Structure 1
Amino acid sequence: MKNNTTIKLKINNQETTAHMINNPTSDEFLQLLPLQLDLKDLFGREKYAELPSTLTANTPRTSTYEVGYIAYYKPTNSIAIYYEDDHQEIPEGIIPLAIIDNNIDLFKENNTHLTIEQSP
């Protein structure tokens, strides 16, 4: 599921990394990097932000998520970063793009600005 491609996430002057998941939508997401996004909180479980351009979403969707997922939500052309599990399903489905390696608690804080770039 994961591949060797790593991305760096910087939020509130702290950093963490994530490993990309092998799928066509993840490959397309990588082409958007680097990104600077302003995050909003949703349901106390995720931070989300609209992407600057639409992904084609040529990957099967899932209605469930895991803490640490970075996922694409096509109905609003957004990415979501899941930091809590409230055991709710997402009827429209999401496409997992990456899995955060550590420091998921950074996203629980009231932080709003995120930089994402591909690691060397």
Structure 2
Amino acid sequence: MKKHTLLYLLLLGFLTSCASHEKTTRHTNTNISPASSDNTSVEMTETNTAISITINEQTFAGTLISSPTTTAFKKLLPLDMTMTELNGNEKYYHLPQKLPTNPESIQTIQAGDLMLFGSDTLVLFYEDFSTSYSYTPLGNIANPSDLKEALGRGYSPITITLTK
């Protein structure tokens, strides 16, 4: 089993670290912060769900988009999880069950993006980078400016709590 897990982690690391310059369509950014300086933020609607992400007693506000994937994901909340470092740009956690997926080719990952890789791997990104891989968008953190610092340096796993 350890060989299988190690092989999966190596493959996942390879897949998420590869960059691509191909033009693809990015999902609509669902930042809900009214202080956001870009024009891609959206207002909180009845179809979006506010969430809190707590890391080492620091809480970040976020939102989940409306989709069949997030409907299934919300049933898992509140969720205490130990997320593992990968590639110096993300933390991941294997969910206890598979979720429905609708993967999209994402051109650019943004710090604060919360996505599903495959059908059961939750990924929280804390760095911006280009990718040619597909993820199912779940939502994001509204103001991720302190996210990298909160997650800590190095490859230590970290306990994170997600709540509605």
Q: CA deviation at 1:37?
A: 0.7
Q: CA deviation at 1:107?
A: 3.9
1:102 aligns with 143
Structure 1: stretches of 5+ with no match in the other structure: none
Q: Does 1:26 align with 2:41?
A: no
RMSD across aligned C-alpha pairs, in angstroms? 1.9
Structure 2: stretches of 5+ with no match in the other structure: 1-27, 31-44
Decide which structure has greater strand share. Answer: 1
Alpha-carbon distance in 1 for matches of 2:161, 2:83:
10
Q: Does 1:73 align with 2:117?
A: yes
1:115 aligns with 161
Alpha-carbon distance in 1 for matches of 2:100, 2:137:
14
C-alpha contact 1:83 1:105 (8 A) present in aligned 2? no
C-alpha contact 1:47 1:107 (8 A) present in aligned 2? no
Q: CA deviation at 1:16?
A: 0.5
Q: What is the TM-score with the length of structure 1 in the denominator?
A: 0.83
Alpha-carbon distance in 1 for matches of 2:70, 2:161:
17
Greater C-alpha radius of gyration? 2
1:7 aligns with 51
The percentage of aligned residue pairs carrying the same residue is 30
CA gap 1:72/1:104 in 2 versus in 1, 3 angstroms? farther
Which structure's relative contact order is higher, taking Cα pairs within 8 Å and 6+ residues apart?
Answer: 1
Decide which structure has greater helix share. Answer: 2
> What is the count of residue pairs matched by the alignment?
114
